[in-house]
Copies of this chain bind each other. A is one copy, B any other.
């Protein structure tokens, strides 16, 4: 084998390894999405069986995080990627962390669903869970889509949507606090809804983080903590 063939061979293996890591990440993303949808459904329908399956499945996500991280460390050690390949590996590492934490939040929601299935539905908060749940599920899907398609316009939309969700979350929490004061007997059940809303709000934050990683991947600009207006400028410039 001459030198050029060897180089091509190595480069081909490298591309394969990168593609495999990306593939695993998207698979992890798909599982995490399902976990979030199932946790929301379990909460809305007080389905403790579904909730328990979410809790059980969290281990799979944890193992995937470790496995993807290991693959990325190997790629860095063996292939020593530079420029956009390096950014891709770093993006994969950061995105798995966010996805694993989204999985944690789904797990927490599922536990609240199990509590509520025992205590009975909260008299208030059903609509808020469904509504914010839908928005956040879409954000998460969009954040993974913009990673697949390297679509920074969509990434910007995810970040903008996060701000809207935060505002809606704040309103929902204030309403629930008011409700608890009027009906103290419901406090324990309403608290389950509050913790679940908090989990949804956190999932929105992670979706935004993933979207920000995508902008870094595509443009090389670190747009974290930048504020939405500046971020929009950066994305428009490209």
Residues of chain A whose beta carbon lies under 8 Å from any beta carbon of chain B = 59, 62-63, 65-66, 69-70, 73, 76-77, 80, 82-83, 86-87, 90, 93-94, 97, 177, 180-181, 184-185, 187-188, 191, 198, 222, 224-225
Contact = CB atoms under 8 A, between A and B. Distances in A.
The main secondary structure of chain A at its interface with chain B is helix
Contacts of A87: 73
Contacts of A185: 181
Given A65-B224, A65-B225, 12 more contacts: A62-B225, A66-B225, A70-B222, A73-B86, A73-B90, A77-B82, A77-B83, A93-B93, A180-B184, A181-B187, A181-B188, A184-B184
Contacts of A97: 94, 97
A231 to B, nearest CB: 13
A63 B66 CA distance: 28
A205 to B, nearest CB: 9
A201 B162 CA distance: 24
Most buried by B among A70, A82, A180: A180
A66 B181 contact: no
A63 B93 CA distance: 20
A73 B90 CA distance: 8
Contacts of A70: 222
Contacts of A90: 73, 76, 93
